[in-house]
Amino acid sequence: MPCVTIRGCRIGEGRPKTILPIVEKTEAEILARGAAFASLPVDCVEWRADWFDASADPDAVAHCLTGLRQALGEKLLLVTYRTKAEGGEKALSPIGYTEFCGWVCASGCADLLDLELFPAGETLPDLIKMAHQQGVRVVCSSHDFNKTPSQAEMVARLVQMQAAGADIAKLAVMPHSRADLLALLAATAEMADLHPETPVITISMGALGAVSRVCGEAMGSAMTFACAGKSSAPGQIELEEMNHILDALALPL
Ligand SMILES: O=C1C[C@@](O)(C(=O)O)C[C@@H](O)[C@@H]1O
């Protein structure tokens, strides 16, 4: 798998890189979480900006991002606006979504920007180009909180993200059976074996899917979302426990 290197962190190589989400409403709460997470053994912090009270105000977003960047030091910062349709807190018009992404990239504070495959639609390649021009890497994402699509459909979505120019392709789906969980894992292995152009992140959500969050090194998922207190999706495992499990499941060099 090719590796995406940011601030010395090699995403796509070895141990899956850990991510902690911030799901707070006010700048003060967001920055307090950022400062607390900066001292934890985690690789990346995700700011879920759809939770932010002032997410429609460009100055407030820029101010918060500047504070977060300072708080996080060398930890990677992933910025995500998860739209309601994909399981997030707020709906956003296509124009609002594009504007928000522009503010994040212009801030110079984000290492990674989450871009949703379906809402971005035809504008996705242009949004990716805009991010790249400003030195921001793109995690393209797709979520299904209701079901697990077929293996072929999951692979097709991830390949579509790669073709659009994403640096990392991500899929989170909901299982209802062991077969669903196996389909997600099989799609992950298929990507690693047959489409290794970019690292991928794959998640089967909820308790049934939780094993998918810890087996990335063996199966081919490059990053994993954990939690420290508040979680941002069902099935996330506490960071401390996650670190123990990832160590125990490490492959020999
Ligand atoms: O896309 C994802 C993955 C996620 O939904 C999870 O299942 O861990 C958590 C979200 O915060 C993140 O943006």
Angle between helix axes 94-107 and 124-133 (nearest 10 degrees) is 10
Distance 87 CA to ligand 1 centre (A): 9
Q: Is 48 annotated as a binding residue?
A: yes
For the segment 53-86, what is each residue's pLDDT rounded down to a tens digit?
999 999 999 999 999 999 999 999 999 999 999 9
Active-site residues, by number, are 143, 170
Q: Cα(203) to centroid of ligand 1, in Å?
A: 8
Per-residue model confidence as pLDDT tens digits over 29-42: 999 999 999 999 99
Q: Encoding tokens for residue 198?
A: 């970019």
| Structure letter (DSSP) for residue 123 | G
In contact, 51 and 23? CB cutoff 8 Å: yes
SS3 content of the chain, % helix, strand, coil (to 5): 45, 25, 30
Q: Is the pLDDT of residue 122 over 90?
A: no
What would the CATH number be for the domain defined by 13-242? 3.20.20.70
Residue range 194-239, pLDDT digits in tens: 999 999 999 999 999 999 999 999 999 999 999 999 999 999 999 9
The 3-state DSSP class for residue 204 equals strand
Q: Quick check: CB of 33 below 6 Å from ligand 1?
A: no
154-186 pLDDT tens trace:
999 999 999 999 999 999 999 999 999 999 999
Q: Is the predicted pLDDT of residue 43 greater than 90, yes or no?
A: yes
Return the pLDDT at 253: 83
pLDDT at res. 2: 82
- Residue among 164, 121, 159, 119 at smallest CA distance from 143: 119
Among protein residues, the one with the nearest Cα to ligand 1's atom 3 is 172
Query: Is the CB–ligand 1 distance for residue 236 below 6 Å?
Result: yes
Task: Please provide the DSSP assignment of 127-146 as one string.
Answer: HHHHHHHTT-EEEEEEEESS
Yes or no: say if 212 and 185 are a contact pair by the CB < 8 Å rule: yes
Is the CB of 61 within 6 Å of ligand 1? no
Percent residues over pLDDT 70 in the chain: 100
Q: Which of 174, 181, 203 to mutate to test the pocket of ligand 1 (most atoms within 8 A of CB)?
A: 203
Span 125-144, pLDDT tens digits? 999 999 999 999 999 999 99
| Token pair in block for residue 237 | 């495992």
- Distance between Cα 81 and ligand 1 center (Å): 11
Task: Ligand 1 pocket test: pick from 33, 45, 82, 204 the residue with the most ligand atoms within 8 Å of its Cβ.
Answer: 82
